[in-house]
Chain A
Amino acid sequence: QVQLVQSGAEVKKPGASVKVSCQASGYTFNDYYLHWVRQAPGQGLEWVGWINPDSGGTNYAQRFQGRVTMTRDASINTAYMELSSLKSDDTAVYFCARDRWERLSRDIFNYWGQGTLVSVSS
């Protein structure tokens, strides 16, 4: 069965960077785009961007451009999201989510990781 397992919670100071991992299993890693979505405490969902695991190509939401970097290591079926210059309002649960469509980014998220809480506080 498809599983996305994320790395554990992180506590960071303002200005620092954080790197969250998402290890996939149960399907061919290169065949499906992986998205990152975040959720601030008690708030709604916000799309951060996607990575094409096959090519390494990325697409980031405008508000995160320049601060976010998505990468992957296909040898271990793992995608990463690194967010730099952290601010207190980056405190959120970060989810990875697999696209529903094979080899396309159709922005339908049908499998999700368990989430990683990133707390930013001085």
Chain B
Amino acid sequence: EIVLTQSPATLSLSPGERATLSCRASQNINKYLAWYQQNPGQAPRLLIYDASNRATAIPARFSGSASGADFTLTISSLEPEDFAVYFCQQRYNWPPVFGQGTRLEIK
């Protein structure tokens, strides 16, 4: 089973700053990685699929990229509503697996 390792566990930034979240796969997953945002008490929301494709209605400040087994979610300029937990998820191999999450908190 593929393991996804997210870093950092917690990221403390201020509104307006740029956020860079990482997800590393234990083996090749091609481009088949998604990112989700989850606010407390809510369901996750799909942000990015297949490494770099924004989901419907996701603002342009969210972008995804890939380099080998390393994936990055970038939020170009943080809005107050962006402070949440972010999960990556691979779908290249069965079963689909999620990373342990990165908490993005207000500094």
Contact = CB atoms under 8 A, between A and B. Distances in A.
A119 B45 CA distance: 24
A19 B43 CA distance: 19
Interface stretch (A7-15, A41-49, A76-84): A41-49
Interface residues on B, range: 20 to 34
A53 interface: no
Contacts of A47: 95-98
A100 B91 CA distance: 12
A109 B44 contact: yes
Interface residues of A, number: 18
Contact of B98 (A46, A100, A108): A46
A95 interface: yes
A107 B99 CA distance: 15
A114 B45 CA distance: 11
Interface in B30-72: 34, 36, 42-46, 49-50, 55-56
Nearest to A113: B43
